[in-house]
Amino acid sequence: RTVSPASVMLNQKQRRYNVVRVDAINPEIKKTEEKVVDSVLIEELSKPVTPYCGCWRSGTFPLCDGSHVKHNKATGDNVGPLLLKKQK
């Protein structure tokens, strides 16, 4: 069969997204930085439990603000925060 150049282009893009799955997971946070690496000085944690964001959707990144709930609902994903816990 014959295909137009436009159809070929769309097929290539579709393959890239559906099969190879080369998507970035961080759409917005600190995109001017080459790599986002935050540090926690653990002795400075004051609360018994402090949740850190694993979904790259938090408005208070690197802390978790609960945005993973919306991300999981929208995508069927199962991500959540890393909990830093102090012993009593």
Asked if 70 is an active-site residue, the reply is: no
Among 29, 30, 54, 84, binds ligand FES (CB under 6 A): 54
DSSP state of 56: S
- The span from the CA of 64 to the CA of 58, in Å, is 6
Q: Is 76 in the site for its own copies (CB under 8 A)?
A: yes
Sign of the C-alpha dihedral computed for residues 36, 32, 77 and 86 taken in this order: positive
Interacting residues with its own copies between 4 and 63 (CB under 8 A) = 4, 6-7, 10-11, 13-14, 17-18, 21-27, 30-31, 33-43, 45, 52, 54-56, 62
